[in-house]
Structure 1
Amino acid sequence: MGMQQMIKYMEQSDHIYAMLKQCPYEILREWKLTTHAAGTVLFSQGDVQDSFYILVDGIADISVVGENGKKYVQSTYAAGNMIGELEIVDRLPFMSNVEAVTNVVLMGLKRDYFLKWLQLDRNFNEYFIRSILKLQYDILKKEGDNNLYPLHQRVCSYLLSCVPEGKKNTDGTIIIQIDKQQLSRQFAVTPRSINRILSKLKEHHIISLHKHEISIQNMDQLRLEEQMSRS
């Protein structure tokens, strides 16, 4: 991969810049760039990979499939997220599936160079440790929320979390690019369960539903719904 391409991705993402800003040149020149079409399963649960990856463009879903066959989306990754960081050191099998939601671009680094990078670059070493700890924190928090709070609260909370990435219209409504099927996978529940909650929010004029979008019409009421369903 050319250095100009590397600089381009560093300029586009603060996370990528934070990781690579002190990467030694001998490591920088070993990165490989690959592109993948939307819908591609990039990595499968149980696979063993010999490279570490950074998502530099596009969006990917991180999911697991339970014994009952249900797909549970653990997270959605965007530019700057690391892939395979938990498995690479000891060549462990991937715990999750990674699927391209949009067209994606990955930067990959072979395991030997990755381990050398950790030794040579104190900046990345610290970034890596902080990222692993944050990931563990987020996973435990999500598991705790799933056990403590009803589905209604979790759906409201998730919609609120999507607001910063939404499109704000002149009338004050906010458009979120997500549909019922995605929410069903996000919470590993049936579409009927999701539809029941969304229909109730629609009846109260909190949201409106479209084919692949949800429009938030009353942000204050959505926050109130989220708070009330905690009790």
Structure 2
Amino acid sequence: MDRRIADYLQQFELLDLFPEYVREEMFVATYSSGERLFSQSDEADTLYLLVKGKLKISILSPEGKRLILAFKSQFDIVGDVEYVRECPFINTVEAVTDIVVIGISYDALRKHMADNAAWLQFLLQTITTKFETKTRAMNFNLLYTVDVRAASYLLSMTPTQPMLGSTSLIDMADLIGTSYRHLNRVLQQFEQAGWIVKKRGKITLLDRDALLEQAGQNIYE
């Protein structure tokens, strides 16, 4: 077994949750910033424990627009709902920063943990929290103005450095639930205020405090 698995589980007080023979079936994987772990509707066969870094979770709406549901930092789990429902992945999950995850196959979990009361209680808690988060995220896109959503998105996408790499404003507009024109106007206002700089498709944050004040709170976190 990779020693890092026990170290990470110990760090998040989960070592006792998984017996050693279950930990033997786990593996460590790394993903680079911008890399996708999986896409909505992909076949689901692995549960991932996020132990380092930050993820972006989004979903394709019935209208064909991709909306942000949440950003997740360690510790968190992805693939748990699909494990219980035995369905394809419901959301698209991408790395915002370089990340480390611990993976374990659904087959191994069903074989070793299906009757483990502590594991089932842990799953119940994490899944109910996720549905609460999803409901709140959908409400955000209805209740919060575009400037709040844009400021929160920029803050969430730049947790460790001030620059947001080359990105399509059309994609960004879809993710926060607005039009390209409206988003562009808001970003121009941010730039005029001295909060950001847009250059060659990249956005650099100059004043995080002002953006956080604009958002009131970081609604996606």
Alignment gaps of 5+ in structure 1: 168-174
SS of match in other structure, 1:20? coil
The answer on whether the counterparts of 2:146 and 2:178 sit within 8 Å (CA) in structure 1 is no
CA separation of 1:148/1:101 partners in 2, compared to 1, >3 Å: closer, same or farther?
A: closer
CA distance in 2, matches of 1:83, 1:183: 23
Matching of residue 97 in structure 1 with residue 92 in structure 2: yes
| Residue 120, structure 1, aligned to residue 116, structure 2 | yes
Mapped contact 2:67–2:176 kept (Cα < 8 A): yes
Query: 2:56 aligned with 1:52, yes or no?
Result: no
Match of 2:177 in 1: 188
- In structure 2, distance between residues paired with 1:41 and 1:153: 26
Match of 1:172 in 2: none
Between the two proteins, what is the percent identity of the paired residues? 23
Give the match for residue 219 of structure 2.
Answer: none
1:164 Cα deviation from its structure 2 partner: 10
1:9 pairs with 2:4: no
Between 49-58 and 83-92, the greater mean CA deviation after superposition = 49-58
Instruction: Give the Cα–Cα distance (whole angstroms) in 2 for the partners of residues 45 and 180 of structure 1.
Output: 20
Q: 1:102: how far off?
A: 4.5
- Pick the structure with greater CA Rg: 1
Q: Residue in 1 aligned with 2:197?
A: 209
Alignment of 1:86 onto 2:81: yes
Deviation at 1:140, TM superposition (A): 0.9
Alpha-carbon distance in 1 for matches of 2:121, 2:164: 34
3-state SS in 1 of match to 2:69: strand
TM-score (norm 1): 0.71
Letter in 2 for 1:50: D
Provide Cα deviations, 1:95-152, integer angstroms capped at 9, x if missing partner: 1122344444332212243243363362x44333222222111111121222223222
Equivalent residue for 1:170? none
Evaluate the alpha carbon distance shift between residue 176 and residue 18 of structure 1 in structure 2; reply closer, same or farther with a 3 A threshold: farther
CA shift, 1:8, in A, is 3.5
The AA in structure 2 aligned to 1:151 is V
Q: 1:218 to 1:25 in 2, by over 3 A?
A: closer
TM-score, normalized by length of structure 2? 0.74
C-alpha separation in 1, matches of 2:55 and 2:215: 27
Q: Does the CA contact (< 8 Å) of 1:162 and 1:176 recur in 2?
A: no
- Alignment deviations for residues 163-196 of structure 1 (CA, whole Å, 9 cap, x no partner): 99466xxxxxxx4757674743530334432221
How many residue pairs end up in the alignment?
Answer: 210
Q: How does 1:4-43 map to 2 (within 5 A)?
A: 4-10=3-9, 17-43=12-38
Question: Match for residue 171 of structure 1?
Answer: none
Q: How far apart are the structure 2 equivalents of 1:201 and 1:44?
A: 32
State whether residues 96 and 157 of structure 2, in contact with CA within 8 Å, keep that contact through their aligned partners in structure 1. Answer: no
Contact kept, 8 Å, 1:9 with 1:56, in 2: the verdict is yes
